[in-house]
Chain A
Amino acid sequence: MSLKIENLTGGYSQTPVIKDISFDINNGELVGLIGLNGAGKSTTIKHIIGLMDPFSGQMTLDGQALKENPSLYRKKIGFIPETPLLYDELTLKEHIEITAMAYDVDVSIAMERATPLLKKFRLQDRLEWFPSDFSKGMKQKVMILCAFITEPSLYIIDEPFLGLDPIAIRDLIQMMEQKKKEGASLLMSTHVLTNAEKICDKFIIINRGEIYAKGTLKDLRETFSMPNASLDDIYTRLADKEGFLK
């Protein structure tokens, strides 16, 4: 069991944004977090990575709670945010070094792990560049790279496909599948449903801060009583139910 979330309730002020959420992600499992804008996906992620404190509920990663040993808990997570967050004053190479330093990875090992990824993303000649010189897609690639070189046991990827070119999307999917094979767990939030349907083992559909449905595509089809439906159809049904498609 990698990530286990039980009855998690949390939000920004007194009113909870996410209510009584429970789900697990097993080792070697890729789970898609799906929901309309403002459904609570990002808030859920913020709670998991420890940027927000839950009002109530339990969260453990490989049996370890954040509060028990924050350092160990955090080391197990690789987070790729929706909007790339980079240091304006550090070069690409220095981003790799500071990540290595923060996650206790030897700098030479980190560079070794980074080399094939740099090549894949065509960034190997740009090690001396500053983030301001990068396009949005390139910045996203740097974020991906920094998360992958720490080799965490849980990858949390918020909207990974935005801004990436088709080749990079293909490469990222390959990388995620590789990590899955190696036994890592992955949680991905996305609106690109065709990709999600192709690669995710399970889905969690969040609506208004609550889990609306979860399970494999087969489970979802049963919940919505829509045999042979695609994830896109199910999503549309959800929107319809919410009154967005009148």
Chain B
Amino acid sequence: MTISDLFKTRQTNYYKTLSKYLKYVLNDHFVILILFLGGATALAYQNYLESIHISAVVPRIILFLIISITLFSGSIRTLIEPADAVFLLPKEKKFDKIMKKNMIYSLLFHSLITLLVGIITAPILIAIGHIKGFGIAFWLLSLVFWKNIYVLNSYYSLKQHKRSTNKNIVILIVALFTITLALSLFMSALIGFLISAVLLVLFLLYVLKHAQTESWNWEKLIETEQRRIQKIYSVINLFVETPYSKHKVKRLKNLDFLYNIKVLKKEPEIYFLSRMFVRNYNFSGLYLRLLIIGNIAIYFSGSWIVNSIVSVLFLYLIGFQLIPLKQIIRDSIHFRLYPAPNNKIKPTQHLILLLLIVSSLLFALSAVSAGAVPVIRLLFFNSTFTAFFIYIYLPARLKK
């Protein structure tokens, strides 16, 4: 088997695994939520565009932030595995070819994403009367050029053995980028375009000259790829248990009082589940995020119909995403050995009930600015849904 065969198989497996997990991520509920939130955001964006004044400054600052985040995120997909540092080391030259392919792939992929963000945000610049006609093309191209500089640097940094050199290059890139983007946004998109084109050519020449000779920094290659994979799985883990969840457990001693709540009956399952939920960020992080997003959405939305839908939808999402708690009890060898009959439904039900009650209260309180009636109305909807979810939907679902 040649090295390129090895990486071909690896690539196939990588996409196979990702698509397998994506099926879980893009479950029906989540797709509905995305459509719903996407529609709401599009509407808000349209309203915002209509309200922008010609020559306004704030939209430019917002744009500056969005573009900076887009351009300085993402990394090169290399599919390197830790064992490669041992087994592939003698074949480093052949590995160069693979890495070139990876670079080209990443350049194309990231350029497309950048272009997409550029197209979506371009109406802001048009609305403030900054660009029109060819100006849009110049603006989009300069974004793509910058993204290419960023990706080229990510590639080159994997050959860089000196941390300080790498840091200096990054500082230089960020500084030049800030100046150029400011020029593009506040003076002329054409000037920004010309500067980015020149910088891209210069950087390309620099990288080509140096990257030919130097050897790979394997430690960095492995670390970067592991971090990239970890990031992907930390998102997937919000939806489904994967073997790649490696969140470090935190003690969080200040929260110990939570476990003394009377409702959490003293039995091993609930003793374990309550602590695991709090200390394992996979679960508590998911809960907190949904709670915060839900609260913000309810707080800012004026319509009681939207509020009720968002509130119940988020309660459902929270409850639904916590169902895997049962699996943890089921898969644990301890609970199969413990003398007491293995009860995995009741404890899970108890814990989810408690979490949904807290969410229901908080969601209802978020509507407090609209007055007492909306709060009570929301409380009614939330408790009705929670009761339905816990006592009708969940038992049926957990028995499966």
Contact = CB atoms under 8 A, between A and B. Distances in A.
Nearest to A104: B339
Given A94-B271, A102-B339, 9 more contacts: A87-B276, A87-B332, A89-B272, A98-B271, A101-B266, A101-B267, A102-B338, A104-B339, A132-B248
A128 B248 contact: no
A75 B337 CA distance: 9
B268 A101 contact: yes
5 contacts: A51-B336, A70-B341, A90-B275, A102-B334, A102-B340
Given A101-B266, A101-B268, A101-B271, A89 B276 contact: yes
B271 A89 contact: no
Contacts of B271: 94, 97-98, 101
B268 to A, nearest CB: 4
A96 to B, nearest CB: 12
Nearest to A74: B339
Interface in B261-295: 266-268, 271-272, 275-276, 279-280
A103 B338 CA distance: 7
A75 B280 contact: no
Interface residues of B, number: 22
B152 to A, nearest CB: 38
A130 B341 CA distance: 27
B249 interface: yes
7 tightest A-B contacts by CB? Answer: A102-B338, A89-B276, A74-B339, A75-B339, A102-B268, A71-B339, A89-B279
Contact of A72 (B249, B275, B334, B339): B339
B339 A50 contact: no
Interface string A80-110: 0100010111110010011001111000000
Contacts of B248: 132
Contacts of B272: 87, 89-90, 98
A49 B276 CA distance: 26
- Measured as residues with beta carbon below 8 angstroms from the partner, the interface class of chain A is 20 to 34
Contact of A71 (B253, B268, B279, B341): B341
A51 B333 CA distance: 8
A79 B333 CA distance: 11
A75 B248 CA distance: 33
Nearest to B274: A89
A49 to B, nearest CB: 6
A89 B253 CA distance: 12
Nearest to B267: A101
Interface in B214-248: 248
A220 B240 CA distance: 54
A52 B143 CA distance: 61
Nearest to A146: B334
A101 B259 CA distance: 15
Nearest to A150: B339
A72 B267 CA distance: 17
A246 B272 CA distance: 52
A50 B251 contact: no
Contacts of B279: 89
A130 B339 contact: no
Contacts of B267: 101
Contacts of A50: 336-337
A97 B260 CA distance: 14
B337 A98 contact: no
B275 A89 contact: yes
A133 to B, nearest CB: 10
Contacts of A75: 339
A87 B249 CA distance: 11
A73 B340 CA distance: 10
Contacts of A77: 337
Contacts of B253: 128
Contact of A88 (B249, B268, B333, B340): B249
Contacts of A74: 337-339
B339 A103 contact: yes
Contacts of A88: 249, 276, 280
Contacts of B339: 70-75, 102-104
A152 to B, nearest CB: 10
B340 A71 contact: yes
B251 A130 contact: yes
